[in-house]
Amino acid sequence: MYDAIEDPYTYKNSTVLVNKLDLRDQDELDAFEAEISSARAEEPLPDGSMNFEHYKAIHHHLFQDVYQWAGQVRTVRIAKGGNPFCFPENIEDQANKLFDGLRSADYLHNLDARTFANQAAHFLAELNAIHAFREGNGRSQLTFFALLADHAGHPLKIEKLKPDEMLAAMIASFDGDERKLGSVIYGLIA
């Protein structure tokens, strides 16, 4: 659960996000969100230039059936476990810098697996710290990353993904240690 103050994204006196089905129970919303975003992930993803606009289009694609604001940058400050993510007024600039860096790095093409994994870990760690959306960041990150890995010639073996291991690696990267995330990514492409 995210920490947010005076959150216009939630129902009054609740932490449940306002959603298109008007589900007021968090477990019901979580189940619907997981089911529909998984189904949408199986569909062809939006075309794009592997930039921030493309990333936002992927979030919209995954969550269009759940949230009115799918694909839109969040407008509130949020934190998880007391750790703040990028302030909303800085998201566009920080995300555009990150994606410009990805473009400058030729979208991580022509790298051996270990170098790709380490550079991809840095990209994912930064993307996670930005946390552009009010909800759905992890699924959008993974979906975009799978697309990036395919384009870079290092397709993910998604069946090898261990969610708890990935989450622990993402948390470590948020604290500045990207080594675990690099190892997890390497395990998904090697």
Question: Which residue type, as a one-letter code, is found at position 25?
Answer: D
Helix (H, G, I), strand (E, B) or coil at 4: strand
pLDDT, one tens digit per residue, over 159-187 is 999 999 999 999 999 999 999 999 999 99
pLDDT > 70: percent of the chain: 97
Query: CB burial class (10 A; 0-12, 13-18, 19+) of residue 181?
Result: buried
Structure tokens at 77: 């400050």
pLDDT of the residue at 82: 84
What lies within 8 Å, CB to CB, of 140 at 6+ separation is 55, 58, 59, 62, 133
Q: Do 66 and 36 meet the contact criterion of CB atoms below 8 Å apart?
A: yes
Amino acid at 16: V
Q: Longest Cα pair distance anywhere in the chain, in angstroms?
A: 51
Q: How far apart are CA 82 and CA 22, in angstroms?
A: 28
Q: In the prediction, which pLDDT does 81 show? A: 84
Secondary structure (3-state) at 80: strand
Cα–Cα distance for residue pair 62/46, rounded to 1 Å: 10
Domains of the chain (ranges plus CATH)? 3-189 (1.10.3290.10)
Which pTM does this prediction carry? 0.94
Q: Name which of 99, 96, 78 is nearest 87 in CA terms.
A: 78
Residue 128: its H or E element: helix 113-130
Residue 4 has pLDDT above 70, yes or no: no
Q: Residue 2 pLDDT more than 70?
A: no
The Cα 57–Cα 72 span in angstroms is 9
The pLDDT of residue 89 is 98
pLDDT digits (tens, 9 = 90+) for 119-171: 999 999 999 999 999 999 999 999 999 999 999 999 999 999 999 999 999 99
